Structure formats: C-alpha cells, structure tokens
Amino acid sequence: MAGAAGRLLLAGAAAATAVEVAHLAPAAGRLTPARRTVCRGLAGYGSATHVALTFDDGPDPRSTPHFLDELDALEVRATFFLLGSMLERAPVLGRELVERGHEVAVHGWDHRRPWWPDPARDLTELRRTVGTITEACGVRPRWYRPPYGVLTSGLLRSARRTGLRTVLWTGWGRDWTAHATPASVYATLRPQLRGGATLLLHDSDCTSAHGAWRSALGALPRVVEHCRERGLWVGSLREHGLA
C-alpha cells in the first residue's frame, strides 16, 4: 500500500507540474531570443521609424502628473498600462491621461504574480479592469501587458476573450530599483533605442523601490533626444504600426 500511495503522489505531482508548465508556456515570449524571432508582434516591434514609449503601474497621484508635464514639454504622447486598483483610487487622473492625448491600456487589476492557473479569476479581473478603465477614462482600452511580463495561458485566453491585444516590450530601463538614476536608465535603454522598439518604464513606484519613478522621469529628455537625433518618432502604441 505504501508503494502504491507513493506512486500515486508522484503521479499527482508530475501532473501538477505539467499543468504549471503548460500554464506558463506563453511566458517564454518575454525571453529576448524568442521576442526577436517568433514573438516579434507580442514583443511590440513596430514601424522602423517609430519608437513606442510605454509606462506601467499607474496612475499614481504622487508621480504620474510629473510625467504628464514632462511629456507635454517634450511634445510626446505615450501609452500608460494602468492597474485597475490604482485607477479606482485616482479616476480623475485616468481621465486626465486621455484628455492630454495619451493612450490608456490594461496592466491588470493588481500586480500579483499569476503562477498558478485560475482561468475564471483571470477573466473576471481583466473584465473588471477593462470596465473600470472604460468608465473612468471614457475610452475602451485596446492593449494588455501582464505584470512582470508573465503571460500565462489563462491570461492570454482571457485577454483575447476581453478583446485585448497583448504587447510586452523590446527594451526596459531597469528604473524600478533603489539604485536607479536617470543616467543608469538612459544607459540601459540606449542600446535598445532602435526603430520599431517598444520601451518599458514606470510612472509609479507602487511595486518598486520608493522614489524609483524619478529615475525614469529624469531619463526621458535624453531618451527622446537620442531617438530624434536618429530620425525616430517617439509616440504611443496606437501609432506604432503593429501588424
């Protein structure tokens, strides 16, 4: 009996592992080699003359207004991937994003790691976030980016059922760390500032080191200047020419 019970437990564990692997398989798209080949659309490679500027984790009343002012000064429009829980606390700021010409998108309801499959939860939370964004901002979002870039099978299906297209990124600035500075963010992004790129930065530190958003904010002028010097137009995902 002990041997049979042990074999049963092992079989159950193997089955659970297989479920987890299948559940997380789409997350392979966040790996750089995959993004550069079979997952170019998922990564956000767009027009060769355009760079898409995107921000995650807002809207945050402490920091997002500073980004809006800086983007106005630079005459750049961007895509903001919003957390439903953050927008629920600052709906007026969500509306302001749209009124100032920016695009709003879905980052999920909160910023948890979706390691274990729960398709019903995934669909419910995405629908809730889409509804909250649509009501608060006055527009229905088109794009989805999962927290941490972990795109599970359940999230991928739920995004499709909710009418969202999933887009990750081709370059980031590591602006979420306690040691990040405007210079370090720019230096990290610089090799990735090419035509067709989708850049990931953060307009909130709600899931990052306290005050880390200042490093992304300070890097923006140099990032935009670098692109413009090379004849690249910086804008939102809706202008990015994604196939």
By percentage, how much of the chain surpasses pLDDT 70?
Answer: 83
Structural domain range at position 90: 45-239
Classify 196 in phi/psi space as left (phi over 0), alpha (psi -120 to 50) or beta.
left
What is the per-residue pLDDT across 173-196, written as a single tens digit (0 to 9) for each? 999 999 999 999 999 999 999 999
Residue 191 lies in a domain: yes
Nearest to 181 by CA among 141, 208, 203, 211: 211
The angle, 0 to 180 degrees and rounded to 10, between the axes of the packed helices 119-137 and 91-99 is 60
Asked if the structure places residue 172 within a domain, the reply is yes
Q: For residue 231, what are the contacts with CB-CB under 8 A and spacing of at least 6?
A: 49
Q: Quickly count: other Cβ atoms within 10 Å of residue 90's Cβ.
A: 18
In a domain? residue 97 = yes
Q: Is residue 12 part of a domain?
A: no
Task: Report helix, strand or coil for 155.
Answer: helix
Residue 2 lies in a domain: no
The average pLDDT across 143-151 equals 93
**Domains identified in the chain, total number:** 1
CATH of the domain at 176: 3.20.20.370
CA distance 225 to 211: 24
Establish if 110 belongs to a structural domain. Answer: yes
Scan for tokens 């590591």, then name that residue.
Answer: 174
Looking at residue 7, its amino acid is R
Query: Which residues, 6 or more positions from 36, have their beta carbon under 8 angstroms from its beta carbon?
Result: 43
Q: Is the peptide bond before 59 cis (omega within 30 degrees of 0)?
A: yes
Indicate whether 17 belongs to any domain: no
Extract the tokens encoding 215.
């490093």
- Using 50, 70 and 90 to split pLDDT, how confident is the model at 118? confident
The answer to whether residue 22 is domain-embedded is: no
pLDDT digits (tens, 9 = 90+) for 18-55: 333 333 333 434 445 545 544 788 999 999 999 999 99
